[in-house]
Amino acid sequence: MQRLPFRIGLGHDTHRLESGGPLVLGGLTIDHDRHAVGHSDADVLLHAITDAILGAAALGDIGELFPDTDPANRGRDSAEMLAAAAGRLSAAGWEIMNLDCVIFAQRPKILPYRNQMREKISVILGVAMDQIGLKAKTGERVGPIGEELAIAAECVALVTRASAGESA
């Protein structure tokens, strides 16, 4: 198992939405009439990515790294958590090949922000923008996503053995 050159990871996250902006999503602070509620900055996309890369290397999950019972994590920048997870991944001898992500949000339209988000994520992870796939779907106006009570995100991550770790 240890010798397999690839691993895949899956991340999923949901946050409640409440009235009043702005919305922190994909590393951006978006002018919007609702915001995601959470212990940290509630960036559902960065949380799903964090779990996907940790999962690929079986390194646990975001809640283990940054417990929501720790006051130090209140309002924490999710980019910092993602960077920490990327550090763990690399220390374990893995590097990211690609991510593919989906945001589940009735509003706002994600397309206008997509490339800016991909760029933010690529900078945090130290990969090229073309290694980050990102798309969004509405909830077709039904259920918690469609009624704008919640926002969710999913991510799959493929990682490969880092070249420096190949002899291990």
Residues contributing to the site for ligand CDP (CB under 6 A)? 105, 109-111, 135-138
- Of 13 and 148, nearer to Zn ion (C-beta) is 13
Residue nearest Zn ion (C-beta atom): 47
Handedness of CA 151, 19, 33, 124 (dihedral sign): negative
How far separated are the first and last CA of the chain, in Å rounded?
13
- Of 96 and 121, nearer to ligand CDP (C-beta) is 121
* C-alpha atoms less than 13 angstroms from C-alpha of 70 in its C-beta half-sphere: 9
For the residues of 30-98, what is the DSSP string, one character each? E--SEEEE-SS---HHHHHHHHHHHHHTT---HHHHS-TT-GGGTT--HHHHHHHHHHHHHHTTEEEEE
Smallest distance from ligand CDP to CB 103, Å: 6
- Of 55 and 139, nearer to ligand CDP (C-beta) is 139
Instruction: Say which entry of Zn ion, ligand CDP, none residue 111 contacts (CB below 5 to 8 A, set by partner kind).
Output: ligand CDP
Rule CB under 5 A: say whether 47 interacts with Zn ion.
Answer: yes
x/- binding map, residues 4-43, to Zn ion, per CB under 5 A? ---------x------------------------------
Smallest distance from Zn ion to CB 141, Å: 24
- Of 47 and 118, nearer to Zn ion (C-beta) is 47
Instruction: Say which entry of Zn ion, ligand CDP, none residue 47 contacts (CB below 5 to 8 A, set by partner kind).
Output: Zn ion
Q: Can you say how many angstroms the Cα of residue 69 is from the centroid of all Cα atoms in its chain?
A: 20
Distance, CA of 53 to CA of 96 (rounded, Å)? 8
Instruction: Say which entry of Zn ion, ligand CDP, none residue 109 contacts (CB below 5 to 8 A, set by partner kind).
Output: ligand CDP
The one-letter amino acid code at 151 reads I
